[in-house]
């Protein structure tokens, strides 16, 4: 590959990163940024003779909070004494702590932005699904779709919400306060339903960080999107998934043991709210961005909590990349052009199938039209199909 092509790749990479970070700095100032923190435990004042109303005023608790904690049916119940409810002080304090955590979660969300974001997700994902089903996503169009997605869902609409956050934040909140935030569970369910529908389809075309990584990876490719200008590496799935599982277990254990969110220190989604990135965050983000030139979606394959959860759901996906072995000529062009090892595992069915991000590279590369993005189970190749091809080459 020529030196000029490599220099061009470096310039495009640096320009993309600078523009994304710079515009994100500007755009985040236009949205109301609400602090997303779990409230500290409050020291409460108890007296046996207190009515609920007095207890609330003394501890600065709203009547709505008291109604939730004590499960009141009407406002008249606020005149009853706290001791009437047969709850220990520890239990009351715990219920208040949990209610405050839910209240804080709700108050930290920009609901207007969330509605807009989910609406646009369904539009852009619908378009991408239509094009992918018809095998019409060519290299140039793929880059355009990635650029639109990361601009709309990342630069303009910000880091949150994200599929990764639904898993990470749910674990941290439950570990710290023992509660579940219902809207987050609804969002997680929707994201997993999309995985159930079509592999990592949301991650491919809707995730702001996923599309950024993918676009960076495609910058370092030739015009036909077949190989890297700088050498690109396909890491073995057993390596990447082992790292991802270990990281997930470590993150979960620390969250429950010390109520510490270790992902928050390195969260690469903060590239879309750069003012909140610390030293460790910048260091990790730079590594991830540079690595994206050489390794396909490093955050997704090695660290993302949703990536791991979604991989399990992906096994039951309705729409998926499929091979018609009746017309397949065993050239393995699809596996060669695939940015990861997944197409090789789909094609030969000899190893565990890794994450498929439904990028569509294999669809346009297959010379016999044997690769489709369709409904139903995948076939197994006829015995000896690819061994015969290898023998013929020799």
Per-residue model confidence (pLDDT) at position 391: 47
Domains of the chain, residue spans: 3-34+111-312, 52-107, 319-393
Per-residue model confidence (pLDDT) at position 123: 96
C-alpha distance from residue 137 to each of 123, 129, 143 (Å): 17, 10, 9
Angle subtended at Cα 297 by Cα 212 and Cα 313, rounded to the nearest 5 degrees: 110
Task: Give every residue of the chain whose pLDDT is below 70, as ranges.
Answer: 1, 31-40, 388-394
H or E stretch including 22?
A: helix 3-28
Angle between the N-to-C axes of helices 182-198 and 163-177, in degrees from 0 to 180, rounded to the nearest 10: 140
Residues 290-304: pLDDT tens digits?
A: 999 999 999 999 999
User: 153 by DSSP, 3-state: which?
Assistant: helix
Per-residue model confidence (pLDDT) at position 214: 98
Read off the pTM.
0.91
Q: Are 112 and 120 in contact (CB under 8 A)?
A: no
Beta-ladder partners of 375: 319
Per-residue model confidence (pLDDT) at position 386: 87
Residue 115 has a CB neighbour count (10 Å cut-off) of 10
Residue 250 has a CB neighbour count (10 Å cut-off) of 11
Angle subtended at Cα 75 by Cα 74 and Cα 79, rounded to the nearest 5 degrees: 120
Per-residue model confidence (pLDDT) at position 29: 80
Residue 380 has a CB neighbour count (10 Å cut-off) of 11
Can you tell me the distance from the alpha carbon of 257 to that of 263, in angstroms, rounded to the nearest whole number? 15
Residue 178: left (phi > 0), alpha (psi -120 to 50), or beta? left
**What is the residue-wise DSSP string for 296-331?**
SSHHHHHT-HHHHHHHHHHTT-SEEEEE-TTT----
Q: Are 183 and 109 in contact (CB under 8 A)?
A: yes
350 CB-contact burial (10 Å; exposed 0-12 / middle 13-18 / buried 19+): exposed
Per-residue model confidence (pLDDT) at position 37: 61
CATH class for the region spanning 319-393: alpha beta
Residue 256 has a CB neighbour count (10 Å cut-off) of 14
H or E stretch including 372?
A: strand 371-375
Record the tokens describing residue 98, joined without a space: 């949990």
């Amino acid at each position: 590959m020529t030196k000029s092509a490599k220099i061009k790749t470096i310039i495009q990479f640096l320009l993309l990163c600078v523009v994304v970070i710079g515009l994100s700095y500007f755009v985040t100032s236009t949205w109301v940024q609400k602090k997303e923190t779990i409230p500290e435990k409050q020291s409460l004042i108890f007296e046996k003779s207190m009515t609920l109303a007095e207890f609330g005023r003394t501890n600065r608790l709203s009547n709505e909070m008291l109604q939730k904690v004590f499960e009141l049916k009407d406002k008249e119940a606020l005149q009853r004494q706290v001791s009437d409810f047969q709850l220990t002080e520890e239990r009351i304090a715990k219920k208040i702590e949990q209610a405050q955590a839910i209240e804080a979660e709700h108050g930290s969300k920009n609901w207007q932005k969330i509605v807009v974001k989910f609406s646009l997700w369904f539009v852009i994902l619908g378009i991408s699904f239509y094009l992918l089903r018809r095998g019409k996503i060519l290299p140039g169009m793929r880059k355009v779709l990635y650029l639109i997605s990361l601009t709309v869902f990342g630069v303009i609409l910000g880091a949150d919400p994200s599929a990764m956050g639904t898993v990470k934040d749910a674990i941290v909140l439950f570990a710290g306060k023992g509660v579940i935030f219902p809207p987050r569970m609804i969002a997680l369910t929707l994201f997993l339903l999309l995985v159930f529908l079509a592999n990592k389809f949301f991650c491919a075309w809707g995730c702001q960080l996923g599309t950024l990584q993918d676009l960076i990876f495609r910058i370092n490719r030739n015009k036909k999107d077949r190989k890297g200008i700088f050498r690109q590496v396909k890491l073995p799935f057993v390596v990447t998934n082992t790292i991802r599982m270990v990281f997930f277990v470590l993150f979960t254990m620390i969250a429950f043991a010390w109520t510490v969110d270790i992902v928050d220190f390195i969260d690469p989604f903060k590239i879309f709210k750069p003012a909140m990135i610390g030293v460790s965050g910048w260091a990790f983000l730079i590594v991830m961005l540079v690595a994206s030139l050489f390794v396909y979606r490093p955050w997704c394959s090695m660290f993302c909590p949703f990536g791991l959860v979604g991989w399990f759901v992906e096994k039951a996906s309705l729409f998926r990349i499929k091979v018609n072995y009746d017309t397949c000529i065993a050239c393995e062009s699809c596996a060669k052009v695939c940015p990861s090892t997944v197409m090789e595992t789909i094609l030969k069915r000899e190893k565990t199938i890794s994450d498929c991000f439904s990028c569509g590279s294999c669809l346009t590369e297959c010379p016999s039209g044997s690769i489709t993005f369709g409904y139903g189970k995948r076939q197994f190749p006829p015995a000896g199909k690819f061994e015969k091809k290898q023998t013929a080459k020799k």
